[in-house]
Amino acid sequence: DATAPQLLRAFATDSVNVTLVFDEPLDSLKAATASNYNISDGIGVPQSAVTIAPIFDKVSLRLNTPLIRDKVYTITVSVVTDCKGNIIGSKNTARVGLSAVADSLDIVINEILFNPRSNGTDYLEIYNRSNKIIDLKQTYIANRSSAGVISNIKQLSADNYLFFPQDFIVVTEDPAIV
């Protein structure tokens, strides 16, 4: 393993607890050092950091200062290594904030590809036009027939995945093709 760990994303479970998701298992001792993390806008170094077993690819942070709703923060990770000792590189920041439930017109469909070429795949591009941070784990899409019957309800993400204000996201079964 010669590849440095990367911070993939972060999400807040409440105003003082944040979970970081990495692309590989971390050295659990270095990852559990609170001073290896810093959050923007006056939050600073967390009170504590705990690696989450059994894979150790997630870190739970407990903050000294609560996050404010609808504010986007940046978490910066330093000195954390994977089990081989590779130190985190340039992929060491992620946005985070308190999520809110989407309301009508917070998220709009920007583009739909429903009849792709034979080697393509369907996709849906959505846009967060609100000032809210929306957790896609709490968001669903569905079909509606001409008779108004709703069917084929799908959760947009099985994991906590934050959709930030004025961001676009493409939803597809095969991201590599899109």
Per-residue pLDDT at 85: 96
Question: Distance between CA 12 and CA 62 in Å, rounded?
Answer: 10
End-to-end, the C-alpha distance of the chain in Å comes to 29
Question: Distance between CA 133 and CA 86 in Å, rounded?
Answer: 32
Per-residue pLDDT at 160: 96
Per-residue pLDDT at 115: 87
Indicate if the alpha-carbon torsion angle 38, 39, 41, 43 is positive or negative. negative
Per-residue pLDDT at 1: 83
To the nearest 10°, the Cα dihedral for 32, 14, 21, 111? Answer: -170
Per-residue pLDDT at 177: 87
DSSP H or E segment with residue 29: helix 28-31
Joined tokens for residue 17:
């607890």
81: phi then psi, degrees, rounded to nearest 5 = -125, 165
To the nearest 10°, the Cα dihedral for 80, 11, 131, 166? Answer: 60
Residue pLDDT tens, the chain, 178 long: 889 999 999 999 999 999 999 999 999 999 999 999 999 999 999 999 999 999 999 999 999 999 999 999 999 999 999 999 999 999 999 999 999 999 989 999 999 998 888 888 999 999 999 999 999 999 999 989 999 999 999 999 999 999 999 999 999 989 888 8
Per-residue pLDDT at 77: 98
56: phi then psi, degrees, rounded to nearest 5 = 65, 30
